[in-house]
Amino acid sequence: MIPTRYANQEVSLLDRLFNNDMFNRDFSETNTTLPSVNIKENEDKFSVEMAVPGFNKNDFNIELNNNDLTISSERKEENEHTEGERYTRKEFSYQSFRRSFTLPNTVDGEKISAEYKNGVLHVDIPKREEAKPRPPKQIAIK
């Protein structure tokens, strides 16, 4: 999986160009901070953890288009006015964002699953069986 940022690494201009740093597909329409993301890999899968406290699971849209995984959310501010009430200050705001990741060909897109728990969105992206490491095989000599 190619994340949009590299931690603790010197990254060349060419690497940034091809890994979407310069033509970033991540954005927030409301000029709020994008949710932080952790990406883990083991032998069986990639795991994406996105910190998004205060949301509900129905606030998210997760879409796989070819090898691009996009996680987005749009929460609209409701302008309910009660007769006789007037705000002297109104600071509540809602955010929308979109984070995109390019997945390698080794993942099984049909088996991607997601869960929202305790303010963290967990997305599991299993690898195809043929992409998983195999134990060493002894080759017989004829």
pLDDT digit string, tens, across residues 19-38: 543 344 665 555 567 889 99
Domain ranges of the chain: 13-77+87-130
Residue 14 confidence class, pLDDT cut points 50, 70, 90: very low
Residue scoring higher pLDDT (107 or 95): 107
What's this model's pTM, rounded to 2 decimal places? Answer: 0.66
Confidence of residue 84 (pLDDT cuts 50, 70, 90): confident
Query: What pLDDT is recorded for position 63?
Result: 96
CATH class of 13-77+87-130: mainly beta
> In what side-by-side order are the strands of the sheet with 45-51?
37-41, 45-51, 120-126, 113-117
- Is the pLDDT at 125 greater than 90? The verdict is yes
Contacts 24+ apart (CB under 8 A), 26-31: 26/97, 26/98, 26/99, 26/100, 27/97, 27/98, 28/95, 28/96, 28/97, 28/98, 29/74, 29/96, 29/97, 30/93, 30/94, 30/95, 30/96
